Amino acid sequence: MSKSHPAFEALPPLEELQSVPTPAYLLHEGKLKQNGKILAGVMSRTGCRILLAQKAFSNFNLYRTFSPFLAGTEASGLYEARLGKEEMPEKEVHVFCTAYRQEEFEELLQYADHIVFNSPGQLKKFGSAAKAAGKSLGLRINPECSTQEGHAIYDPCAPGSRLGTTRAQWNAQMTAERIALLDGLHFHTLCEQDSDALEVTLKAVENTFGDILPRMQCLNFGGGHHITRPGYNISRLEQCIRYAQQTWGVTVYLEPGEACALNAGFLLTRVLDLLQNGDTRLAILDMSAACHTPDVLEMPYRPPIYGSGEPGKKANTYRLGGPSCLAGDVLGDYSFDTPLREGDLLILGDMAIYTTCKNNTFNGMPLPAIWVRRENGATEPLVTFGYEDFKNRLGRTTLDGTN
C-alpha cells in the first residue's frame, strides 16, 4: 500500500522514522486537526454539536488539537467523564453507561453535563438525583433497525440486544413522571458507516419514537459515522441533521470516535525473526496483534501495512505474527516486493483509533511507547512504558518493598 492509501497520506518520510524505537504508536497532530476541521464544518453549516467519543481515542495530550473544533467529549463511564472534564474543561461532557454504579454516581455528577440512561429502570433509580444536580438527561432508545453487515459484535439492534430501550419497553415502563425528567433521546446503531445507513436509521427512529421527539430538546445520533473518510457523503449527513431539527425542533448531537482520529496514527514495528512452516513463510514482529491492536482479532480486520499488497500480489508473501504465546496472534498474510529481513521496519496505518486505549500486557508484553508527529515536522515521544506499568496493574509495592 502506497501513500495514495488514505491511511498513509500523512506518513512522515521513512528515513525520519528509522530512529524511533519499536514497537511504537505515532500520532499525527496535523491529521487530527484536519479531521477536526471537517467536523467543525458540519457544526458550522448545520448548528449541530459534535463530541469526541473517548472510547476510540483517549490520548488527552492531544485534546487541545481537537478543542477548537468540537463541542466536547462523550464518555462511557466515570473515568472517561473525569478525563473529558479535566482535559477539555471549557467544553460539554456527555456520559452514556449501560448501567451506573450507585457508589460512583455522586462523583460522576461532578464531571458530567448530560447523562444518558440505558433503561427506564436506570432513569428511575438515578434520574431525580441527576436532575436535582442540574444535569440534562437522556434515554438511549433502540429503533430495532440493523444496518450493519459483517459486524454482529457491534450491532446494538441485534435481537436480544441489551443496548437501548425499545418502544415496547418504553410503553410498558415509561410513566409520565419519568418522561418529564427527560431532555432528550439518544440512539447509536452505526459502526464505520456512511450517511445512507443513518438515513435509514433516522426513518426507523421516526417510525418508532416520532410521537415522543417533539417533547424533547435534543436528539443524539450517536457514533459510528465515518465523516472524515474519503468519499463519505457529508451532504446527506447534513440533510439528516436538518430534517431532525426542522421536524422535531431538537438540538442534534453526534459523538463520533473513529472520525475524530481516522488515519491519524501509525504503529511502527520491526521484524524479529523469519521462519517457514511448509509452504508458509512467517515473520515474527516485535508488536502483538493480541496486545497492541486487539481489534484485529476482535472485529476482526486486516490493518493496512505500508508497501504491502494482498497475499500473492507481490513477489514475497508472509504471514505476520506477534511474539506472544497465543497461536492466533496473527495480523494476517501480506506480500512485499522484496524478501523481508530481520530488523526491517513495517508501518501499520490507521492506528490512532481503538489501539492505545484498548491495548494490554498479556504475556507480560511491554506496551508500545506513544510518539507524536507535530505540525512543525518534529517527531517526539509523548509517553513511554516499562515493567512498572505491567506490574502495577496487578498489585502495588509498598514503600518498604513489601507486597
Mean pLDDT of 377-398: 92
Question: Does the pLDDT value for residue 300 go beyond 90?
Answer: no
Do 29 and 65 contact (CB within 8 A), yes or no? yes
pLDDT for the residue numbered 169? 98
Mean pLDDT over all residues of the chain? Answer: 96
CA nearest to 253, candidates 227, 216, 221, 210: 221
pLDDT, mean of residues 106-121: 98
Tens digit of pLDDT for each residue in 339-361?
Answer: 999 999 999 999 999 999 999 99
Flag whether pLDDT at 125 surpasses 80. Answer: yes
Closest CA to 100 of 126, 139, 80: 126
Q: Is 227 a residue whose pLDDT tops 80?
A: yes
The pLDDT of residue 150 is above 90 = no
pLDDT at 151: 73
pLDDT at residue 180 is higher than 80: yes
Residue 402: pLDDT over 80 = no
pLDDT value of residue 403: 60
Cis peptide bond N-terminal to 300, omega within 30:
yes
What's the pLDDT at 400? 62
33 HSE (CA, 13 A, CB side): 11
Q: What is the 3-state secondary structure (H, E, C) of 81-137?
A: HHHHHHHCCCCEEEEECCCCCHHHHHHHHHHCCEEEECCHHHHHHHHHHHHHCCCEE
- Residue 141: closest CA among 113, 181, 104, 174: 174
Global pTM reads 0.95
Q: Which residues lie closer than 8 Å to 177 by C-beta, 6 or more apart? A: none
80-90: pLDDT as tens digits: 999 999 999 99
Please report the pLDDT score of residue 87 as a whole number: 97
Confidence of residue 265 (pLDDT cuts 50, 70, 90): very high
Q: How confident is the model at residue 243 (pLDDT cuts 50, 70, 90)?
A: very high
Q: Give yes or no for a contact between 25 and 380, defined as CB atoms under 8 angstroms apart.
A: no
Work out the average pLDDT over 259-276. 98
Determine the average pLDDT of the residues in 183-212.
97
**pLDDT > 70: percent of the chain:** 98
> What pLDDT digit, counting tens, does each position of 100-109 carry?
999 999 999 9
Phi-psi region of 61 (alpha: psi -120 to 50; beta: other; left: phi over 0): alpha
Q: Is the pLDDT of residue 233 over 80?
A: yes
Q: What's the average model confidence in pLDDT over 178-186?
A: 98
**Residue 84 in contact with residue 75, Cβ under 8 Å?**
yes
Would you state the pLDDT for residue 383?
97
Tell me the domains of the chain and their CATH numbers.
6-27+264-391 (2.40.37.10), 47-261 (3.20.20.10)
Residues 6 or more apart in contact with residue 350 via CB below 8 angstroms? 6, 7, 262, 263, 265, 303, 304
